[in-house]
Amino acid sequence: MSIAAADELTVRLDELAERKTTARDGGDPRVTERQHAKGKLTAHERIALLLDKGSFSEVEPLRRHRATGFGLEAKKPYGDGVVTGWGTVEGRTVFVYAHDFRVFGGALGEAHATKIHKIMDMAIAAGAPLVSLNDGAGARIQEGVSALAGYGGIFRRNTKASGVIPQISVMLGPCAGGAAYSPALTDFVFAVRDISQMFITGPDVVKAVTGEEISQNGLGGADVHAGTSGVAHFVYDDEETCIAEVRYLLSMLPQNNRELPPVAHTGDPVDRPGDSLLDLVPVDGSRSYDIRAVIEEVVDDGEFMEVHATWAQNIVVGLARVDGHTVGVVANQPAAMAGVLDIKASEKGARFVQFCDAFNIPLVTLVDVPGFLPGVDQEHEGIIRRGAKLLYAYCNATVPRVSVVLRKAYGGAYIVMDSRSIGADVALAWPTNEIAVMGAEGAANVVFRREIAAADDPDAMRQEKIDQYRRELVHPYYAAERGLVDDVIDPRQTREVLARSLAMLLHKHTDLPSRKHGNPPQ
């Protein structure tokens, strides 16, 4: 190479480095200081926390918008307010895009959207998870319908990727209007207290239309969506912890729907006895306990990543490992509403079961359910239609499914909680189980109503009939004698029996009827 050519190349390389530095700085170092002053990290800082060190490859860092008018032609920053690319998490490929709030407030324009479309298409083609780090002010008003069309392209790709690759949304700033629908279309939504807000119409619009006054956090803050609306699956106090938990979640998931989840043996013995289970679950079905303690005793090293921990708390769902293999756990929670199923619990369970089925994650269901929640509100709000979502999800699931009845399993709720009759591969029960149409007290009042009413001592007769019903129909071996459970097991052996059952089902294959897709209840 001639000296002149070498000098020219050096100039070009210096120019490239300057442009990329400008893109990383948001065009002005002062905007980074303002971002930090809000207690927020920059897009590149967030990506650095998410991905393995030095693994990030950025896509289109020098992209600029082509819009004119409203002063946009005088401001054309590199990157156009979004950082896109790929890297690795624990050595496995992950695609990412992160809004850069320092540029146009992270607002989406045509070029911005095109970058996101490209990285989403790359993730789908490569068969690797997609993580979005959301911190944007919605559509770029100056670009009009072009910005709106950009959102449409994102929504279409979210839907195309659904059930194909894991999609995770991390809310690290505002997300308003139509922009909020993209996170809602993804598999999991993470949020951070005080900096995450999501709403379709903001506080000003709410006040103008309804007269109600409310703050941004009160309307759509992290805790609101984690505990009230159910939009957010996980909520944390700071960005660092939040992004670390995203990495942990990714470590438990397959890259796509054609792979099994990664195996990570922890050294926790499969045959470890669960002696504490005898004390954790009271024999008396009217006494409550925390099902999380049971889950932690059964899974590897007691590590359980609960999903929707503060929403619909009468059912517990989450991810764990058994003998190194990822499993999805669905369990009734006697410590909340006695573990009864209602509308929210049914929808929470159904979405989680569908996710696990889409990504080849076996399901372990722990049953202690007294029934569906009675009430006018539940009926009028559609418990039939919405409760059927959980039933549909289980019936449609082809992954390995193991259920264990710990205590109560009454009525339609027993059927819905992955009973043998709807396709559980292995159905187990503890000796404390009571599988029946209803509890002995209620059943006796219905079946023996006349005898009780005619008795000289109705209370004594009622107790006699309760005991009779319990002896004849609710005893622990009634279901086993009829093949509705495969075995009644010692609670202390639950972990070992689960591990053996799941190992047997590892290569389970089920063919569904040929169809475009089902039509689940809505």
Active site residues: 177-178, 412-413
Residue 54 in tokens: 């030095």
Q: How far apart are CA 326 and CA 319, in angstroms?
A: 7
Find, among 36, 117, 35, the residue nearest to 80 by Cα: 117
Residue 131 β-bridge partners: 96, 168
Q: How far apart are CA 113 and CA 104, in angstroms?
A: 13
Residue 202 in tokens: 């903001």
DSSP 3-state assignment of 517? coil
162: phi then psi, degrees, rounded to nearest 5: -60, 125
Q: How many CB atoms lie within 10 A of CB 29?
A: 9
Q: CA-based angle 222:153:518, to the nearest 5?
A: 80
Q: How many CB atoms lie within 10 A of CB 17?
A: 10
Name the DSSP letter for residue 373.
P
What stretches of 203-296 adopt beta strand conformation (E)?
A: 234-236
Q: How far apart are CA 53 and CA 51, in angstroms?
A: 6
Please name the amino acid found at residue 409: A
Residues 331, 308: contact at Cβ < 8 Å?
no
Q: How far apart are CA 32 and CA 107, in angstroms?
A: 17
Find, among 171, 176, 173, the residue nearest to 190 by Cα: 171
Q: How far apart are CA 511 and CA 176, in angstroms?
A: 42
Q: Are strands 57-59 and 401-410 parallel, antiparallel or unpaired?
A: unpaired
Q: State the first-to-last Cα distance of the chain, in angstroms, to the nearest integer.
A: 68
Q: Which residue bears the tokens 């499993």?
A: 327
DSSP 3-state assignment of 260? coil
Please name the amino acid found at residue 461: M
Q: How far apart are CA 119 and CA 45, in angstroms?
A: 19
